[in-house]
């Protein structure tokens, strides 16, 4: 099984329609991949947690169903995502006390049916 759960680098999800987005965290799930949007903790799981159905393939980049997940590239590779990433990093730095610790994120993922490796 790929070690998606343990990746600490920023990840980009490419949807089947070509749209790309940064994800805050992702976890293996019996039905595929559970991922959390940026700022997920300011919303409800129904709004900010998503399940992509399908078998997970690869060791990075990964393929899940018709979606792909990869590590965010440098500014020259992913310039269209750099502003969102910089804003997210600044938010995490400025609001560290408001963002849940990894152990709590893993517990939330488990409650949503994920099977995190860590």
- Peptide bond preceding 61: is omega within 30 degrees of 0, i.e. cis? yes
Q: In this prediction, what percent of the chain has a pLDDT beyond 90?
A: 75
CA–CA distance, 28 with 10 (Å, rounded to integer): 17
Residue 118 placed within a domain: no
Range of the domain at 42: 4-111
Residue 116 placed within a domain: no
Residue 39 placed within a domain: yes
Burial (Cβ within 10 Å: 0-12, 13-18, ≥19) of residue 40: buried
Q: What is the pLDDT of residues 38-96, one digit of tens each?
A: 999 999 878 999 999 999 999 889 999 999 999 998 767 888 899 999 999 999 999 99
Domain count within the chain:
1
pLDDT of residue 44: 86
Give the alpha-carbon dihedral of 54, 45, 112, 89, to 10 degrees: 80
Look at the pTM and tell me if it is higher than 0.75.
Answer: yes
pLDDT at 1 over 80: no
CA–CA distance, 55 with 40 (Å, rounded to integer): 24
């Amino acid at each position: 099984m790929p070690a998606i759960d343990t990746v600490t680098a920023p990840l980009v999800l490419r949807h089947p329609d070509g749209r790309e987005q940064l994800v805050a965290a992702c976890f293996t799930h019996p039905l595929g991949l559970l991922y959390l949007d940026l700022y997920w903790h300011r919303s409800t799981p129904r709004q900010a947690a998503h399940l992509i159905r399908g078998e997970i393939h690869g060791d990075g980049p990964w393929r899940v169903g018709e979606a792909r997940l990869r590590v965010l590239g440098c500014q020259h590779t992913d310039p269209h995502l750099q502003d969102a990433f910089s804003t997210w990093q600044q938010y995490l730095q400025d609001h560290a006390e408001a963002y849940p610790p990894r152990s709590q994120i893993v517990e939330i993922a488990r409650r949503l049916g994920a099977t995190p490796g860590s």
